[in-house]
Amino acid sequence: MITESRVSSWTRALGRRRKALYVSSPIGLGHAQRDVAIADELRKLHPDLEIDWLAQHPVTAVLETHGERIHPMSAELASESAHIAAESSGHDLNAFQAIRRMDEILLANFMVFHDVVAEGHYDLVVGDEAWDIDYYLHENPELKRTAFAWMTDFVGWLPMPAGGEREAFVTADYNAEMIEHVERFPRIRDRAIFVGEPDDIVPDDFGPGLPSIRDWTERHFAFSGYITGFDPAPLIEGRDDLRRELGFRSDERVVLVTVGGSGVGEALLRRVIASYPDAARRVNGLRMIAIAGPRIDPSSLGAPPGVEVRAFVPSLYRHLAACDLAVVQGGLTTTMELAAARRPFLYFPLGNHFEQNRHVRHRLKRYGAGRYMDYATSTPEVIAEAIASELDRPIDYRPVETDGAARAAALVAQVI
C-alpha cells in the first residue's frame, strides 16, 4: 500500500490549465470589489483560467459572496486590517507609518505566499497593492516563479506635515528604494498597472533629487482608468425606483453618513450627528441616516431625534446612489463610488493619512467631485453649512470610466 504522504504528482506543461493566484489588499474595502471585476474579465479572455485567492478578512467576505476559490493557506496569513485598526485613533491614521510599522506582518505573509507559489504551479500572480509580494520579490528576485502583475491606485509615499523632516526623509528613502528595485529588476513586474489615468497622479516628486512621480509612473506603468467594480448607469437611471425601494420619500432630503467598516470613524460620526439640528433648521425635510458599521455600537452615539443610526445596510453603494448627499471619510473607493453615481458629498480625509489627503484629493479634484472638509476645523456648524450648500450643487463631475476592469484584465491577460 502506498500511504498518501508518499504520493506526489506532476502535470505535463501542455496538459495544464492556466492558473493564477490573486492577492488583493485587505486595507480598505475597495480592492476586493475591483479585483473580482478584473477576475471576471480575465476569465472572459482566458476561459480555461483557474483563479485561487490568497486573501484575508475583509477581502474573503467579498470573495465568498462571489463564489471565488480561497486558497486554504490563506488561514495562515497574519491580519493586516487588525494592524491598521491598532494604528488608528480618533479621526487619525498615519497611513505611511502604519504600513512601515507593518513590516513584521508583511514578511510573515510573504513567507506564506512563497510556500503557496512553490507548490501551486501558477502561471501568474496578480498583486493588487500586495506590498509584501512586490517588495520581497525585488529583494529576492530568484524566488520569482510566475508572471507577476502589479496593480496600485497610487504611486509614491508622501510625507505629512506633522511628520516633519524625518518623515520627509524616510518617505523619500522608501521611494528611492522602490525606484532602485524596479529599475534594477524590470523582470519582476511583468505588468504594472496604475488604476487611473496619468492625470490622476499627484504633481509631486518622489523626494529631493528624485524623479517626478508622474514622469516616472508614466514610464513604468500602463493605465487602466478607474475601476469601480460595478456599472453605475442603472443606479443613476433607476434612482427614483431605488429611493422608493429604500423608503426615501420624494419630499425628503436624505443625508447618508458612513465611515466604512473600521472603528476609526466614530469621531466623525459623532461630529456629523451633532451637526444635524443646525442642518435641519437650514434644510426642509432633512433626514439623516448614520451607518455605524460592525465595530461601533449604534446606541452609544446619542443621536438626536431625526437621525437614524443603523449598524449596517446591505449593498451600501445602492444607498449611496439613492441619497441626496453623503458624508464620508476620504477613502478612494467610497468617494469614487459617489463620483460614479453622481451624488454630492462631503469628504473628510483622516488626519495624517497621506493617501486620502494628497493622492485621493488630487484625483477627486480632477473629477470635480465632492467637497473636501478638514476634520480639525469643521465644527458642527461648519458641517451644517456645508450640508445645506452642497445639497443643491449641480453635478458636473467628469464621468467615471466604466471599462477599467476590462482594460486592466486585457493588460494582465497579455502576460499569461
Partner 1 sequence: MTAARLSGPSAEPSAEDAGSREQHRARYPDATGHVERDGVRVFYEVYGSGEPTVLLLPTWSIIHSRLWKLQIPDLARRSRVLTFDPRGNGRSDRPVDADAYAETEYAADALAIMDATETDRAVLVSLSMGAQRALVLASEYPERVAGAVFIGPALPLRRTIPGREASKDFAARLDSDAGWAKYNSHYWRRDYRGFLEFFFGECFSEAHSTKPTDDAVAWGLETDAESLILTQLAPGLRDRDDVLARCARVRCPVLVIHGAEDRIRSVADGEEVARATGGKFVRLEGAGHIPNVRDPVQVNLAIRDFLASIGGRA
Nearer to partner 1, 140 or 299 (CB): 140
As a whole number of angstroms, the distance between CA 158 and CA 357 comes to: 10
311 binds partner 1 (CB under 8 A): no
Residues 16, 69, 173, 368: which binds partner 1 (CB under 8 A)? 173
Smallest gap from residue 243 Cβ to partner 1 (A):
41
Residues 24-83 that bind partner 1 (CB under 8 A): 76, 78, 82-83
Smallest gap from residue 118 Cβ to partner 1 (A):
10
HSE-CB of 199 using CA atoms within 13 angstroms: 8
Cell 472572459 belongs to which residue?
A: 44
Smallest gap from residue 167 Cβ to partner 1 (A):
11
379 binds partner 1 (CB under 8 A): no
Secondary structure letter of residue 66 according to DSSP:
T
Nearer to partner 1, 224 or 352 (CB): 352
Which residues make Cβ contacts (< 8 Å) with residue 178, sequence separation at least 6?
Answer: none
Cell 437621525 belongs to which residue?
A: 307
- Is 93 in contact with 87 (CB distance < 8 Å)? yes
Smallest gap from residue 57 Cβ to partner 1 (A):
15
139 binds partner 1 (CB under 8 A): yes
Nearer to partner 1, 169 or 372 (CB): 169
218 binds partner 1 (CB under 8 A): no
87 binds partner 1 (CB under 8 A): yes
Cell 497610487 belongs to which residue?
A: 154
Residues 96-115 that bind partner 1 (CB under 8 A): 100-105, 107-112, 114
Q: Which three cell numbers stand for residue 263?
A: 472603528
As a whole number of angstroms, the distance between CA 375 and CA 320 comes to: 21
Nearer to partner 1, 86 or 311 (CB): 86
Q: What dihedral do alpha carbons 148, 54, 23, 121 form, nearest 10°?
A: 10
Which residues make Cβ contacts (< 8 Å) with residue 144, sequence separation at least 6?
Answer: 137, 187, 188
Q: In terms of Cα–Cα distance, which of 372, 330, 373 is closest to 95? A: 330
Q: Which residues bind partner 1 (CB under 8 A)?
A: 76, 78, 82-83, 86-87, 89, 100-105, 107-112, 114, 136, 139-140, 143, 169-170, 173-174, 176-177
